[in-house]
Amino acid sequence: MTAAPVALPEAPAPQGGLRRWLASPVGAQITAAVVFIGAWQLLTVIAPRVPGPAVVANFLFVEITGGPHGGIVRGQFFEHFAVTLQRFSLGLFFGFISGLLVGILIGSSSLARALLSDTVLVLLTMPAFVWAFLTTMWFGITWQAPVLTVAFSAFPFVAINVAQGVRAIAPELRNMSTAFEVGKWKQFRHLTVPAVAGYIFAGLRFAIIIGWNGILLSEWFSGQAGVGFRTRYWFDANRYRGFVGWVIVFIVFIVLVDRVILNRLQARAFRWRDQKEVDFIEIEEEQVGL
């Protein structure tokens, strides 16, 4: 009998703990995910043509393990993903290197800035699907079309960010270094690189997000393999579960790369800085200022 009064005050504790957990940041995020999946499930009840979470999960399982989708079509996840990753990294490489060179040129010479900045601005305004169309008209359905679409759409973002970084190097520091006879290499290593690195990183992040959109479009319109092609394949076959499944794949990929890998890398590389985390939106704010 004496045990009961002791147990009573304990009883509400787990409830309070649950409530506290639900109100915590992690709890709120998990609640959001659950609400999202619930809403999705509800949507399939209202609109029966929308594939539900379970159906899509099943599709993805079959696609990734390479099992039969019914009929003769088999899952082909890694084949298409590998093709896209190859083209993506090649295009990113070209776009990044050329953006870096032009950005340094625009940032360090006022003549180059006056001559080239409008051209870069025009390229910045071009939608990625236009590059997908143009490269297809130039090269046909080949591997060059998606690679160049990535390179062309990523290039102006890198160039503008790098140019901004080069211009942002404090002239006082540079003058002082020269006055105190700091060597050219030492200046480059300890002044130029740390000042520009953040902008280069921001440019790379933009290039990755913009380029990913570009390669999907290019493969959608004129691919015979790749993530974009496979998405379209299921779309054309009227199998919306396949379409939604692949959409989830390419969204998860870009969110993982951007928010998890690049964000962490950036935080690590720039932890010496006394500034809050540079956010995706904040970088873009700088972007528009130019």
Partner 1 sequence: MTDTVAESIRQDLDQGQVLRTAAGARRRRYALVVLGWLVFIGLWWLLALWVGSEARLPSPGRVFQEVLAILQEDFWAQFWASIVRVVAGFFAAVLIGTPVGLLMGRSKYWSNFLQSPVVVAGSIPGLTYAVMAFVVFGISFWGPVLAVGLIAMPYVAINVAEGMRGVDRRLVDMSTAYGRNERQVFRHVVIPSVLPFVFAGVRLSFSLAWKVGTLTEVFGSSKGIGFQIRRNYQLFNMPGVIAWVLLFVLFMLLIERFILVRLERRLFRWRQWEREA
> Could you list the residues that contact partner 1 (CB under 8 A)?
23-25, 28-29, 31-33, 36, 111, 114-119, 121-122, 124-130, 133-134, 136-138, 209, 212-213, 216-217, 220, 228, 235, 240, 243, 247, 250-251, 254-255, 258-259, 280-281, 284-285, 288
Q: Give me 147's structure tokens.
A: 């690679």
Cβ proximity to partner 1: between 169 and 247 the closer is: 247
In whole angstroms, the minimum distance from the beta carbon of 96 to partner 1 comes to: 19
Cβ proximity to partner 1: between 182 and 239 the closer is: 239
Cβ proximity to partner 1: between 52 and 196 the closer is: 52
Give 147: exposed, middle or buried? Use CB within 10 Å, 0-12, 13-18, 19+: buried
In whole angstroms, the minimum distance from the beta carbon of 23 to partner 1 comes to: 6
Cβ proximity to partner 1: between 28 and 267 the closer is: 28
Contact in structure between 166 and 104 (CB atoms under 8 Å): yes
Angle at 43 between CA 39 and CA 47, to 5 degrees: 180
Angle at 277 between CA 251 and CA 176, to 5 degrees: 130
Q: How many CA atoms lie within 13 A of 135 on its CB side?
A: 27
In whole angstroms, the minimum distance from the beta carbon of 188 to partner 1 comes to: 28
In whole angstroms, the minimum distance from the beta carbon of 250 to partner 1 comes to: 7
78-151-208-167 Cα dihedral, nearest 10 degrees: 160
